[in-house]
Structure 1
Amino acid sequence: MLQSLIKLRSSSRVLQRSFTSALDKEITGNPEALESKYIIKTYNPDGVRTKKGLIFTHGEGPYLFDAQGKKYLDFCSGIAVSSLGHSDPVWAKAIADQAHKVCHVSNLFHSEPPLKLAKKLIENSTFDKVFFCNSGTEANEAAYKFARLHGNKVAKGTPLEGKKTHVIAFKGGFHGRSSGSLSLTYKPAIREPFLPLVPNITFAEYNNLDDVKAQISDHTCAIIVEPIQGEGGVMPAKAQFLKGLRELCNQHNALLICDEVQTGLGRTGKLFGHEVYGVQPDLITLAKPLAGGLPIGAVLAKDHVADAVTPGSHGTTFGGNPIVCAAANVVMDRLTEPSFLLHVQKMGRLMAQGLKDLQTKYPNKIKEVRLPIGEAGLYAGVECTGPVGPIVKDLVTKGVITITAGEKILRLCPPLVINEEDVKMFIKALDESLAAHEL
């Protein structure tokens, strides 16, 4: 009986290995066919992701490798997510160690990693409290709700009671795809299929303070703004614009929310994007790079906002997950090392100079190079005179991964750990692609 059971288990393992091997070959052989058969088409109609047959199997530092072993310099880092690059050994060990302890306990109980992460975020910022969730969309959803709760609190017992609900967002802004976050997002193509959305949200022109002045009133509970619009074309806010928003919020007892999902945590050369401007928001939202590739979101808030949030008014099942927070603690430790942001600033200036040199070389192809204030961050938008799709595809053949922010804008957000050789390799590849393509 025992021998029969051992043989059965052995046979089962052989069949499992055989099935896994066959599935692996099917995936790497034709990923588009599997996507077409099994995945809802929210990204493209034919399943082709940049290049037909391309499937990444692993990564190391700022590089990715495909199923054939070809190496690619990653200049998008999963849309500004993989700030420490791929497979960082300390990050990976923290995840594995935590997985051997406890994966999930819910927010009905304490675990160590989120408490450590909360302490690090607050002690390295000017905020007082943090709320953890699972994505940038959820962080912006929470920030919107917190602003509404704060509006209710400050208006209570006044003629504005129940009426301080107006929120100003911006044209070109992107804050997510859930109902609340989508209501704050301008792009008509992704908004209009879901109308009607949350009411009493209006959109002002980005970098146009007069337009904001024309819309704001004492009924306004918040303004939400990206220090640099990512999806909107890597468009930096002007210093006086962001400062003016702060002043208007002060005048109307409204909150200033900075969406730093893409610009926070080192991307601009500072730990937080608003630091570049010397402006203090009431709340900021974080997500993409915080856990180095695992899903997380966070809202950092001043006490006057946090005090308006009562138990039961918001919540999350997975927010503050121990494994994800263990990864995020490694990211925060690295970002707060004295030399880390200095390295980001040095590489950011090198990349900025390389891009400006290319603009000088190709004035009929590069219309504008957009950079964070101070030009010391690893973030850039290269607006070209024609569609950049052919450039993106050509760069892939040269072993470089990039993404767009609109039809004519190349969006660059490499891992924060790239070195001088990586930057020079990218600039050389982009130079060759620009030379070879009419735009």
Structure 2
Amino acid sequence: MSVEHAQVQRADFDQFMVPNYAPAAFIPVRGQGSRVWDQNGRELIDFTGGIAVNSLGHCHPRLVAALTEQAGKLWHVSNIFTNEPTLRLAKKLEEATFADRAFFCNSGAEANEAAFKLARRVAHDRFGPQKCEIISALDSFHGRTFFTVSVTGQPKYSDGFGPKPEGITHVPYNDLAALEAAISERTCAVVLEPIQGESGILPAQQAYLEGARRLCDQYDALLILDEVQTGVGRTGELFAYMHYGVVPDILSTAKGLGGGFPIGAMLTRSDLAKHFSAGVHGTTFGGNPLACAVAEAVIDVVNTPEVLQGIKAKHQRFKTRLEAIGRQYGIFSQVRGMGMLIGSVLSEPWKGKARDVLVAAEQEALMVLQAGADVVRFAPSLVIEDADIDEGLERFERAIVRLVRG
């Protein structure tokens, strides 16, 4: 049965949509694996992964099957009831991590909102209302709700919306002395990304995360790790905290968890989870059977030795070639990150021009990202074929040649 679709074009965005995004000039209409086709049938290689969301690429058969099977059974029942996919997913996440309790929502911002509220609630119940301060890192990114954007260490995202919530402090990332100077008996939580994502794919130093854990223990504060972007295999371990051997009290994740279907999760221990008793926090769509069925399939595919090892091997494949391109054309000073989350740092003459690289790449039929103005970001499918990596990097080199030659 065919469905009549009205013809739409990129100009319609400017006519009908709130102008808070500035999307590319083309409209993707179909995807398969790491390839995307636009309205004109042009094929592009996708190194963006929907900004680290499409963990298994486009239309992965296991995810399509999980979604269509669940779509024929049950879509939504609310949290007045529970459902089987929610319980299966929670069990799998808990078996694979430090956690023994899960809370499901629809996005990374909601997962962080829940994490911050839980941290404040735990401190309130155990120590009293004065223990409410949250310490976050400068240049961090934790979401766009008013609470999470205030915890985010980038004032450009939170300024201009009226008075900000109190009790939030920002300190430089990877600076243990600054964290030690800021933390106190009033601190209820320290929140860190294991790799700062939006501000440039900057990994935490081992000693820094270990020190943060030690300080949190010393001051009865909770360590929250924001793994919205790094979680679910992105770094080559199921969660990035596993690389460091530093276990958080609360972990937030989203993005790659649903492989393209909106879902977020907050994971924690039962001694903390009990402070979210019935009615204390909630969400209409969280734990939706469709989302959880898809996420369960993602975990089943990603949390296997062959996929996780493959991610590490693909990282090397990317890094080796990107470093060679950087040397040859003098455009990158460093290639950093883990797994399939890679940042190529632009060299001094190219500072501020990440957007130009994106545009040049698109002209060569390649989709890439930026992380700030100085870093080109790659966050492709975790199972991207080596042939697609090689072809995509060929196109990327052509884009760099185009730029360098002006």
- Scaled by the length of structure 1, the TM-score of the pair is 0.89
Q: One-letter code of the match for 1:388? A: A
CA–CA distance in structure 2, aligned partners of residues 337 and 213 of structure 1: 38
Q: Does 1:165 align with 2:132?
A: yes
CA–CA distance in structure 2, aligned partners of residues 304 and 194 of structure 1: 36
Structure 1 equivalent of residue 242 of structure 2:
275
Q: Secondary structure at the match of 1:293?
A: coil
Match of 1:129 among 81, 97, 101: 101
Structure 1 equivalent of residue 402 of structure 2:
436
Q: Shift of the alpha carbon at 1:116?
A: 0.4
Q: One-letter code of the match for 2:20? A: T
Deviations 1:280-326 (A, max 9, x none): 10011010011110111100002221122221110111000001111
Structure 1 equivalent of residue 321 of structure 2:
354
2:358 and 2:368 in contact (8 A); partners too:
yes
Unaligned runs of 5+ in 1: 1-12, 156-160
Unaligned runs of 5+ in 2: none
Match of 2:341 among 379, 382, 396: 379
1:164 and 1:220 in contact (8 A); partners too:
yes
Q: Secondary structure at the match of 1:290?
A: helix
**Correspondences of 1:319-358 after superposition (within 5 Å):** 319-358=286-325
Q: One-letter code of the match for 1:323? A: L
2:332 and 2:344 in contact (8 A); partners too:
yes
Match of 1:38 among 3, 8, 16: 16
Q: Shift of the alpha carbon at 1:334?
A: 0.2
Structure 2 equivalent of residue 261 of structure 1:
228
Deviations 1:120-139 (A, max 9, x none): 00001111100000100000
Q: One-letter code of the match for 2:186? A: H
Kindly report structure 1 stretches of 4+ aligned residues shifted beyond 6 Å: none
Q: Secondary structure at the match of 1:196?
A: coil
Match of 2:383 among 394, 399, 417: 417
CA–CA distance in structure 1, aligned partners of residues 211 and 380 of structure 2: 31
Structure 2 equivalent of residue 393 of structure 1:
359
CA–CA distance in structure 1, aligned partners of residues 356 and 136 of structure 2: 33
Q: Does 1:215 align with 2:177?
A: no
Structure 1 equivalent of residue 208 of structure 2:
241
Match of 1:90 among 62, 67, 71: 62
Deviations 1:392-422 (A, max 9, x none): 1121121110111111211110001112212
1:239 and 1:277 in contact (8 A); partners too:
yes
Q: Shift of the alpha carbon at 1:359?
A: 2.4
CA–CA distance in structure 2, aligned partners of residues 437 and 338 of structure 1: 40
CA–CA distance in structure 1, aligned partners of residues 227 and 193 of structure 2: 6
Q: One-letter code of the match for 1:380? A: I
Deviations 1:206-260 (A, max 9, x none): 0001111111001100000000011111111111111110000000000000000
2:334 and 2:344 in contact (8 A); partners too:
yes
CA–CA distance in structure 1, aligned partners of residues 290 and 373 of structure 2: 37
Q: Does 1:179 align with 2:151?
A: no
Q: Shift of the alpha carbon at 1:370?
A: 1.6
CA–CA distance in structure 2, aligned partners of residues 400 and 148 of structure 1: 44
Structure 2 equivalent of residue 62 of structure 1:
34
**Correspondences of 1:67-146 after superposition (within 5 Å):** 67-146=39-118
Q: Shift of the alpha carbon at 1:68?
A: 1.6
CA–CA distance in structure 1, aligned partners of residues 218 and 324 of structure 2: 44
Q: One-letter code of the match for 1:198? A: P
Q: One-letter code of the match for 1:192? A: D
2:48 and 2:368 in contact (8 A); partners too:
yes
CA–CA distance in structure 1, aligned partners of residues 82 and 204 of structure 2: 39
- The sequence identity of aligned pairs, in percent, is 38
CA–CA distance in structure 2, aligned partners of residues 109 and 303 of structure 1: 21
Q: Which is higher, the Rg of structure 1 or of structure 2?
A: 1
2:363 and 2:399 in contact (8 A); partners too:
no
Q: Secondary structure at the match of 1:194?
A: coil
CA–CA distance in structure 1, aligned partners of residues 398 and 374 of structure 2: 18
- Scaled by the length of structure 2, the TM-score of the pair is 0.96
2:228 and 2:253 in contact (8 A); partners too:
yes
CA–CA distance in structure 2, aligned partners of residues 340 and 214 of structure 1: 41
Q: One-letter code of the match for 1:76? A: T
Match of 1:227 among 188, 194, 197: 194
CA–CA distance in structure 1, aligned partners of residues 149 and 354 of structure 2: 27
CA–CA distance in structure 2, aligned partners of residues 177 and 265 of structure 1: 21
Q: One-letter code of the match for 2:53? A: V
Q: Shift of the alpha carbon at 1:426?
A: 2.3
Q: Shift of the alpha carbon at 1:348?
A: 1.1
**Correspondences of 1:182-193 after superposition (within 5 Å):** 182-193=149-160
